[in-house]
Amino acid sequence: MSSFKDDFLAFAIERQVLLFGEFKTKAGRLSPYFFNAGLFNDGDALKKLGEFYAKAILDSGVAFDGLFGPAYKGIPLATSVAIALAAHGHNVPFTYNRKEAKDHGEGGNLVGAPLKGRILIVDDVISAGTSVRESVGLILAAGAEPCGVAIALDRMERGKGRLSAVQEVERDAGLPVVAIANLHDLMTYLDTQPGYTDTRSAMQRYRTEYGVD
């Protein structure tokens, strides 16, 4: 496993962004873990998170010309990733959207740099893929090309069918999805940590029932 994946998972657990126990998902499943990227909620945490995204994106080899952060969680994420990429010598523009179009000032529902070229969407997770579909529509309407999606954690969990939400995005939108870490990475990491035997067993049972490859 890439060292930044280990470091990211340790960081998420330390910040209590990644919790273990019993949590009900939107699909009504009882999950043994919960990930809430909204709890990366101070300057230091957001700085480190942006660096993890940047490492995953650069490691993936996906070519892009700009970033797009869908409202609302994607806005600080795209901002932090742009700053982190600049520190790595990749200074790229970023754009985000408003939920409602502004009818004064600069107007419209897009803020930041004009969308041009290949645009990488930055979000926290992919649940139903709704945010990605909306982002793709906005990018195409601006005359740019969506080229991929970067997320923090891929749960590798089935949606309504046999595929996961991430796999459905890759299939339907034809976009690669880059995750800082996924469920396999998390379970591998927990194998190396003391005190997680029961948690690891619960996650394996959950993965057997709901997981995808």
Pairing assessment for the beta strands 94-102 and 108-112 based on DSSP bridges: antiparallel
What does the alpha-carbon distance between residue 148 and residue 138 come to, in Å, rounded to a whole number?
A: 14
Of the candidates 24, 88, 90, 102, the residue annotated as catalytic is 102
Amino acid at 77: L
Residue 161: which H helix or E strand, with range? none
- Check the CA dihedral 137-138-141-142 and report its sign: negative
Burial class of 24 by CB neighbour count within 10 A (0 to 12, 13 to 18, 19+): exposed
Helical ranges in 38-87 per DSSP H: 43-60, 74-87
- Bridge partners (DSSP) listed for residue 23: 31
Q: Are 35 and 24 in contact (CB under 8 A)?
A: no
- Bridge partners (DSSP) listed for residue 122: 150
CA distance to 124, 125, 128, 141, 177, per residue, from 165 (Å): 13, 10, 6, 24, 11
Of the candidates 24, 104, 116, 184, the residue annotated as catalytic is 104
Q: Is 102 a catalytic residue?
A: yes
Catalytic positions are 102, 104
